[in-house]
Chain A
Amino acid sequence: DAKTTQPNSMESNEEEPVHLPCNHSTISGTDYIHWYRQLPSQGPEYVIHGLTSNVNNRMASLAIAEDRKSSTLILHRATLRDAAVYYCILRGLNGGATNKLIFGTGTLLAVQP
């Protein structure tokens, strides 16, 4: 499985934008880039996903580099409720058999009031 690399932790101030980076230099052409987040004492929740083009939804934006070797999750205005572990995951077809999500260690985002 192609791997991703994320910083262990980041800090942000409330009401400011947050840019969470992810490197995935071994991404294949069929891999989608997914982001999930896990709030304290909860199961992970889906945030956003993309393939080549930048994506926007109500939670966040996903900016994908032209060579697809990196991506950035953008939270436009961080709130205290955004404090969580953010996981960047590649999801693709492994020989057409399965497409399990492999979670790395993620980025622990702390939001300061």
Chain B
Amino acid sequence: GAGVSQSPSNKVTEKGKDVELRCDPISGHTALYWYRQSLGQGLEFLIYFQGNSAPDKSGLPSDRFSAERTGGSVSTLTIQRTQQEDSAVYLCASSSQGSPTGELFFGEGSRLTVL
């Protein structure tokens, strides 16, 4: 597709289960970001991938969160042993370059609800 695609759009899970959220960035974009947004809150940075460089994981809230980006394209955010406070919309964005002038294109997000 032309834009950033995220799946699933909605995910309901039980506390303690693992979940995987997928992001398909715009083709050719080298930079990929994950954010999360809790209800009524701003965006919280999670992790940033740029080309083949080591990712910036400084925003991951705990070791239950991890992300990978295979082949420089698709990315998967994994949350292990989910907790209720993990409930949020998880947003992925990509950019054609990692420079300070690059525009970020966001997906529609994956809404995660942990019961």
Whether A and B are associated in the same complex: the answer reads yes
Point out residues on A near B: beta carbons under 8 Å.
30-32, 36, 42-46, 49, 87, 91-93, 97-106
Interface size on B, residues (CB 8 A): 25
B residues within 8 Å of A by Cβ?
Answer: 4, 33, 35, 41-45, 48, 50, 56, 59, 91, 93, 98-101, 103-109
10 nearest CB pairs, A to B: A43-B106, A103-B43, A46-B103, A98-B56, A32-B100, A91-B100, A105-B42, A100-B48, A44-B106, A99-B100
Q: Which residues of B contact A42 (CB under 8 A)?
A: 108
Contact A99/B107 with A43-B91, A105-B42 known, Cβ cut-off 8 Å: no
B100 A93 Cβ-Cβ under 8 A? yes
Alpha-carbon distance between A43 and B45 when the two chains are bound, in angstroms: 14
CB neighbours (8 Å) of A98 from chain B are 48, 50, 56, 98
Inter-chain contact B43/A44, CB cutoff 8 Å: yes
Chain A: minimal CB distance from B51 (Å): 12
What is the CA–CA distance of A102 and B44 in the complex, to the nearest angstrom? 7
Other than A97-B56, A98-B98, A103-B44, give 11 A-B pairs with Cβ distance below 8 A: A32-B100, A32-B101, A42-B108, A44-B106, A45-B106, A87-B43, A99-B98, A99-B100, A100-B59, A101-B33, A105-B41
